[in-house]
Amino acid sequence: MKAFILDRYKKEQPLRPGDLPEPKVGPGDVLIEVAAAGLNLLDAKIRNGEFKLLLPYKPPFVLGHDLAGTVVRVGSGVRRFKVGDEVYARPQDGRIGTLAERIAVDESDIALKPKNLSMAEAASIPLVGLTAWQALVEHAKLKRGDKVLIHAGSGGVGTFAIQLAKHLGATVATTASAGNADLVRSLGADVVVDYRREDFEKVLSGYDVVLNSLDGETLRKSLAILKPGGKLISISGPPDPAFAKAQGLNVFLALVMRLLSFGIRRKSKARGVDYAFLFMRANGAQLAEIAKLVEAGTIRPVLDRVVPFEATDEALTKLEAGRSKGKVVVAIR
pLDDT single digits (tens) 93-114: 999 999 999 999 999 999 999 9
HSE, side-chain direction, 13 A CA sphere, residue 210: 32
Q: Order of strands across the sheet with 191-194? A: 191-194, 171-176, 147-150, 207-212, 226-234, 274-277
pLDDT single digits (tens) 124-165: 999 999 999 999 999 999 999 999 999 999 999 999 999 999
Quick one: average pLDDT of 5-27? 96
Kindly tell me if the per-residue pLDDT of 323 is higher than 90: no
Q: Are 257 and 239 in contact (CB under 8 A)?
A: yes
pLDDT single digits (tens) 52-85: 888 889 999 999 999 999 999 999 999 999 999 9
Q: How far apart, in whole angstroms, are the C-alpha atoms of residue 152 and residue 202?
A: 17
Percent of all residues in the chain with a pLDDT value above 70, rounded to a whole number:
100
User: In whole numbers, what is the pLDDT of the chain averaged over residues?
Assistant: 96
Quick one: average pLDDT of 180-184? 97
State the maximum Cα–Cα separation within the chain, in Å, rounded to a whole number. Answer: 58
Q: What is the pLDDT of residue 99?
A: 98
Q: CA triplet 109, 63, 60: central angle to 5 degrees? A: 125
CB neighbour burial string for 173-184, b if at least 16 within 10 angstroms, e if fewer: bbbbbeebbebb
Q: How far apart, in whole angstroms, are the C-alpha atoms of residue 333 and residue 323?
A: 26
Q: What SS3 class is residue 260? A: helix
Kindly tell me if the per-residue pLDDT of 167 is higher than 90: yes
Q: Cis omega (within 30 of 0) on the bond before 238?
A: yes
Q: How far apart, in whole angstroms, are the C-alpha atoms of residue 311 and residue 265?
A: 41
DSSP 266-290: HHHHHTT-EEEE------HHHHHHH
pLDDT single digits (tens) 257-269: 999 999 999 999 9
Could you give the domains of the chain? 2-124+301-331 (3.90.180.10), 127-277 (3.40.50.720)
Neighbours of 83 (CB within 10 A): 11
Kindly tell me if the per-residue pLDDT of 3 is higher than 90: yes
Q: CA triplet 229, 232, 233: central angle to 5 degrees? A: 135
Which DSSP state fits 136? Answer: I
Nearest to 301 by CA among 66, 78, 139: 66
Quick one: average pLDDT of 299-311? 97
Q: How far apart, in whole angstroms, are the C-alpha atoms of residue 287 and residue 125?
A: 9
Q: What SS3 class is residue 68? A: strand
What's this model's pTM, rounded to 2 decimal places? 0.96
Neighbours of 205 (CB within 10 A): 11
